[in-house]
Homo-oligomer: A and B are copies of this chain.
Amino acid sequence: MKKPRNTIAKRKILELINESPSAVSSQDIHAGVGTVCDRATVYRVLGRLVDEGEVHKIIDLDGVIRYAPCDQCDDHHHHHDHIHFSCEKCNALTCLEEVVPEFTLPKNYKAHSVNFTVSGICEKCA
């Protein structure tokens, strides 16, 4: 495993992700970094941040990849079994960390990870 470095691009991108109230796409990030770094670097940094467990990757309902802070995760426990809520009105994709769905798989199936997205109207747009 490579030894990650603390570069300007990384700090800026992490800041953008952490300060956004909802999950951001690579487009959002590229727009947000301005001249700090290149488009290619945005993709590379995002990939590393995910590998390092600093952010998590969410697939939106329309297939757009977005990134959100890994708030509730520490090095040993990642909790990615909560719901992602996609608002049809304001288009924000937010993590509802407190909502963890319950389900039972059929015999012989084994779950490793889950990805739950619910779309509808969020509290702000209600």
Contacts and interface: CB of A to CB of B under 8 A. Distances in A.
Interface string A66-105: 0000000000000000010100100000001011111111
Most chain B CB within a 10 A radius of its CB, from A65, A99, A118: A118
A110 interface: yes
Interface residues of A, number: 38
**How many copies make up the complex?**
2
Contacts of A119: 111-115
A106 interface: yes
Contacts of A98: 106
Given A59-B61, A103-B83, A114 B118 contact: yes
Given A59-B61, A115-B116, 18 more contacts: A59-B60, A59-B63, A61-B113, A96-B106, A100-B103, A101-B101, A102-B102, A105-B118, A108-B122, A108-B123, A109-B123, A112-B121, A113-B118, A113-B119, A114-B116, A114-B117, A115-B118, A115-B119
Interface of A: 59-65, 83, 85, 88, 96, 98-123, 126
